[in-house]
Amino acid sequence: VSDASGCSMIALLHTGAAKLPQNLPSRARQAVSPLLLAGVLKGYSSIVSRKLASHGFGASMAAMSSFPPQRYHYFLVLDFEATCDKPQIHPQEIIEFPILKLNGRTMEIESTFHMYVQPVVHPQLTPFCTELTGIIQGMVDGQPSLQQVLERVDEWMAKEGLLDPSVKSIFVTCGDWDLKVMLPGQCQYLGLPVADYFKQWINLKKAYSFAMGSWPKNGLLDMNKGLNLQHIGRPHSGIDDCKNIANIMKTLAHRGFIFKQTSKPF
């Protein structure tokens, strides 16, 4: 953001128009010059902050300058939990459907969508599934079906302004399984359409490997360890995993990483 008055103040320092009196002792000149510069810069920062505010940008200058701008207005962090057992049951069904709306400018969470889903093919959760995910039978009994949850996702997307063609958003997952395998597979089994916004995403594992130069074999645990972050909540809780993904993304963004789509177009 440029501002003529702010730039002109900076120009004064460089052109000599804001020179200090020559008769001041050298020590006085050395003491005053940094103060003058600091004052001018502070004034310039204030002007730019007001300019940003007038355009609807509420973030502080510090927040704006701490990392480069991303390609997307919003990141939609998603992490399913599904029915499971050993050996694996088929078909698997989504039982937890969380999404965090992450502001691409501030990398802060702005909104949350979180619902549990009642499985219909295997309505009874296995002990293995409950132990892994922390989801007990009472959390899915009587909950909406996947079709109903997908309808509510669409309503939430509309309410959050994410269906506006001028708003650039993309889903982010820890791996390709959620949107490449799980959702399209279950939708095909149930004869449900898959919305276009689910057909492109960022695999955080790939993004992390691009940024850090190593592949996180153990997913979120390795990424948190590599970035010296504390793990949030319970592993394999969908909503907690989303919070960890968001925290990792924010940390990488502050290090200057620009997130890009990793999925191939359908």
Catalytic residue among 93, 96, 160, 236: 236
Active site residue 73: no
Within the chain, residue ranges assigned H as helices are: 4-15, 26-54, 61-65, 127-133, 137-140, 146-159, 183-190, 204-212, 220-226, 238-254
The two tokens of residue 10 are: 């900076």
Active site residue 108: no
CB neighbourhood size of 3 (10 A): 13
The two tokens of residue 246 are: 């968001």
Longest dimension (CA), the chain: 89
Catalytic residue among 14, 55, 81, 254: 81
Q: Which residue has the tokens 């993304």?
A: 249
Residue 265 belongs to what H/E stretch? Answer: none
CB neighbourhood size of 263 (10 A): 17
Q: Which residues are catalytic?
A: 81, 236
